[in-house]
Amino acid sequence: MDASENKWKIPLLVIIFGLGIIIFLEMTPYLSGFLGAFTIYIMVRNQMRKLTDNKKMKKSIAATLILIEVILLFIIPISAVVWLLVSKIKNINLDTHELILQGHQIIGTIQEKTGYDLLSSDNLSSATAEVSKLLQMALDGITSFSINAVIMVFVLYFLLIGGSQLEKYIFDILPFKKGNKKNILRETKVMITANAIGIPLLASVQGMVAYAGYVIFGASSPILLAVLTCFSTILPLVGTTIVWLPAALYLGISGNWPSAIGLSLYGMIVISGSDNVVRFLLQKKIADTNPLITIFGVIIGLSLFGFWGVIFGPLLLSTFLLCIDIYKEEYIDKTEV
């Protein structure tokens, strides 16, 4: 590259990164659809190749068949779970009289011991505002899910059609040696596959285990609580505790302290224990990933990518560490030699 060509290299990179940032920011509301399409593409890419290479099927027909499969096995079940969750919340029947009575007793005890009035006008206003905010977030989440589901199907179709060319293009522009390029792409595939299989499996196991506990100890709306437990598995650190602990507290303030204590012990030992067992088995069978990468990756990913952060957060952190290893191998170790 001569001097006249080299002087345009930095301005071109600035334009590329500048436009890339603008495009990323504008696409943020629809990022879940793109990440979902990419995740599913990694899972079905071999199936697409078998249909086109072995079965000699046209790409458009093969892509359409796989899309139908994805809709039947993924989008419809998820939509059904969301619908079940919404309908259960709408139809939930709480013993409000008993709940209010017990609540007043607890509030009275707190005020007597501490002098703090939970029912002050400021506290009631704050509580009302928080409840309204949560309801609006839930409504926005359902709307966003519907829009991103359509985007996911649309993007996935074109990924299936032109995925091979896209993979080759990404491989060519990665700024590493050939062997390191393969390592990064292999790490990407392993992490996405492990989380795409492991997270739903973990959620299903914990949901079933939790459902048994809710039924045994007489928690109200056990199906609703089990579904919420499934979704809560993606949250780092707190996890399913945010579901079974409030359920146990509700049993307690309703006067059923034996069941409350029993559900608390069941949650700590059985529900949380099943999380550790399943994660350990998945790490050994699918991907031997350091648990710290998973935990901190999910924390980072949820804030960046939303729901899909449970997959792409650990992938981002794992890729970052892999790039450090590559830099050490290619530049630091060679310099020392």
Task: Return the minimum-mean-pLDDT range out of 120-129, 168-177, 222-231.
Answer: 120-129
> How far apart (Å, rounded) are the C-alpha atoms in residues 230 and 34?
23
Mean pLDDT for 311-322 is 77
Mean pLDDT for 156-183 is 82
Residue 18 has pLDDT above 80, yes or no: yes
Give the sign of the dihedral formed by CA 203, CA 207, CA 209, CA 213: positive
Are the C-beta atoms of residues 235 and 209 closer than 8 Å to each other? no
Q: What's the pLDDT band for 136 if we cut at 50, 70, 90?
A: low
Q: Name the average pLDDT for the chain.
A: 75
What's the distance, Cα to Cα, between the start and end of the chain in Å?
30
> In whole angstroms, what separates CA 14 from the centre of its chain?
33
Q: What's the pLDDT band for 195 if we cut at 50, 70, 90?
A: confident
pLDDT at 32: 78
Q: Which of 117, 105, 88 is nearest to 254 (CA)?
A: 105
Mean pLDDT for 275-299 is 67
Mean pLDDT for 134-163 is 76
Amino acid found at 33: G
> In whole angstroms, what separates CA 166 from the centre of its chain?
25
> In whole angstroms, what separates CA 43 from the centre of its chain?
16
pLDDT at 277: 72
Are the C-beta atoms of residues 283 and 295 closer than 8 Å to each other? no
pLDDT at 73: 81
- Tell me the whole-structure pTM to 2 decimals: 0.68
Q: Which long-range contacts does 204-208 make (Cβ < 8 Å, 24+ apart)?
A: 204/230, 205/274, 205/278, 206/230, 206/233, 206/240, 206/271, 206/274, 206/275, 206/278
Domain ranges of the chain: 30-94+120-173, 175-337
> How far apart (Å, rounded) are the C-alpha atoms in residues 225 and 242?
11
> How far apart (Å, rounded) are the C-alpha atoms in residues 184 and 325?
11
Mean pLDDT for 232-244 is 78
* Burial zone of 276 (CB within 10 Å; 0-12 exposed, 13-18 middle, 19+ buried): exposed
pLDDT at 98: 53
